[in-house]
Amino acid sequence: MAAQMSTSAAQSEPRRDNYSSGSDAGSDSSSSGDEDEWQDQEEEQEEAPAIISLLDDHVFPDVVSMLNYCKDKGLDFLAIRDRLNLDFYGLIKLINFIRSKVHEGAAIPTEITAADLEDDKYLKPVLDDDALIFCLDDLPESSGAGAEASTADAEKGAGAPVDELIQKNAELQARLEQLSKQFSNYRLAVQQTLDQRWQADDDDKDAASKGKATAAAAAATTGMPSAPAPEGPAAKDGASDYYFESYAHNDIHETMLKDTVRTEAYRDFIYQNKDLFAGKVVLDIGCGTGILSMFCAKAGAKQVIAVDRSEIIDKARENIYANGLSDVIVTLKGRIEEVILPVEKVDIIVSEWMGYCLLYEAMLNSVLWARDKYLTPQGLMVPSHGNMWIAPVSEQEYIAEYIDFWRDVYGFDMKVMQKGIYQDCRMEVRPAETVCGTPASFGLLDFHTVKVEDLTFTAKWASTFSDKAESHDGFLAWWDVFFARDRVDESIKIDTKAQEWVAETKGKCGDRDARVAFTTGPFGEPTHWRQGLMLLDKNKVKVTKPAPGQKIAGEIEYITAENHERGLNLRVTWAAEGEKEQTQTWLLH
């Protein structure tokens, strides 16, 4: 009973910054032995976690006693956790929400809601090195089963053999190390998130101030009131913000994940080549839901750094934690050009950056920037190569259904709807039989060496019309990507097709040497990238019926769209054998 009373007294003792008192001040006569004894006691006290109350400065030796103390005062932390079904990060927000209210002297809401915890500012610890956050794994389970199991374990442990105790100690030590890594990753993610948030706030304020100053100057000059200056992120970079916001919703990620050609190619390469990933540091750019990062972690990566500017990063973080991989994967929110990585160099960059006609969205620019800054000289890009293709097509049925349709809509002529109908590059899944000429490769990109300036280009191509070419109605563009084990792979050439490259080793080697590549073209399984269909505007260009075996050649130009930094203009120049050269431009915005 005396021991229990002593413990109770310790629990209710308020935390003080200084422990001196009148009697302590007069203790100059203490012996050196007493000083050593006090030092030993202080060292023992430092080893024990100091759990500070959520409601005041009282200090407790463990989480349970602190939570019971708070519950007696009307704050049932565990009940809030269970009611809101909070995960690891939700609990951190709850702790910091309560501590911030206490620190501000504000009243804690009678019923804390999920809306109270939405702000990411509550990921930042109110207390430095808050021991309560370190001890989240020690919280009682939501049912009584956890307590009963703990009691049973304690009773069993009382008479357990030394070997069992040693094993139990090793398991606890491993768990502690895992939690330490998890907490380190959490702190890093919090720092990055808040740094980006505060920088954005500062930029918004600066932009607003400049805008107001400009407006004031204009008013002073003209004597007329001016329109209010734009404020916020949209004023800074509306096009890019819209791009990133489009990836914040589930629909687009569901589409990409269900694209088995895409997702399984990444999975197969990573899992079949675990020797490349084991013990390595991997950077995942545009991580989305975190699927590629989790593949890499499962393959044995030492650390995976997942970066995304979109709000989807918050869900990726939860996915990673829910799958027990937060000790390996750290998530950073922001553009790759702006975040600060926890390492100087990475061994592998994995990214699913590809867009329509390969380069639409201009995400490869950011990947190449990261490659030049972070990838080691012998590092690997995943995927490693891309090949772009073009072919003439015969599309009479498509034109009848989607172009001529407007000339007779339930008996009405809606010709005006055809205005500009030929100027867009249409993203469609087209059957192989519409291709009426040999496919021509016009660009092989090695992602280890290609430069940003190489992504706007003019390339030559040549094709031959097939025997079944009934008409020439346009061009079809698509691409293949390759996943090579080595930085240099001479088997991938400008005319290499993905399916043929994979087939060369199929059934002839083990999993590790099996090649991985895929096509988005009409001769493969459809993907969410589809193909780029460029229909000829025959009101402006003159086209005759192609003859079997007739040659056709020209150039294709990839141009960055004006006023649309992530868009493309595709300009094709061509001349069939015996005919004059013609040109048309299509927009992919």
Q: What angle, 0 to 180 degrees and rounded to 10, lies between the N-to-C axes of helices 88-104 and 77-84?
A: 130
Whole-number Å distance between alpha carbons of 584 and 562: 17
Q: Is 556 exposed, middle or buried (0-12, 13-18, 19+ CB in 10 A)?
A: buried
| 445, HSE (Cβ side, Cα atoms, 13 Å) | 26
CA–CA distance, 531 with 105 (Å, rounded to integer): 61
C-alpha 79/C-alpha 42 separation (Å) is: 35
Of 552, 562, 557, 571, whose CA–CA distance to 589 is shortest? 562
How far, in Å, CA of 443 to CA of 387, rounded? Answer: 6
- Cα distance between residue 326 and residue 178, in whole Å: 9
311 is catalytic: no
Computed on alpha carbons and rounded to an integer, the radius of gyration of the chain in Å comes to 32
Q: In what order do the strands lie in the sheet with 582-588?
A: 457-464, 551-560, 568-576, 582-588
Catalytic site includes residue 42: no
CA 426 to chain centre: 28
Q: Which of 503, 534, 500, 498 is nearest to 517 (CA)?
A: 498
* Catalytic one of 43, 361, 428, 565: 361
Contact 436, 472 (CB under 8 A): yes
Q: Are the C-beta atoms of residues 382 and 348 closer than 8 Å to each other?
A: yes
Please give the Cα distance from 488 to 199 (Å, whole number): 40
Catalytic residue, from 42, 155, 311, 352: name it: 352
Cα-Cα-Cα-Cα dihedral sign, residues 464, 468, 470, 474: negative
In sequence order, what DSSP letters do the residues of 320-364 get, joined into one string?
HHHTT-TTTEEEEES-TTTS--SSS-EEEEEE---BTTBTTT-HH
Residues annotated as part of the active site: 352, 361
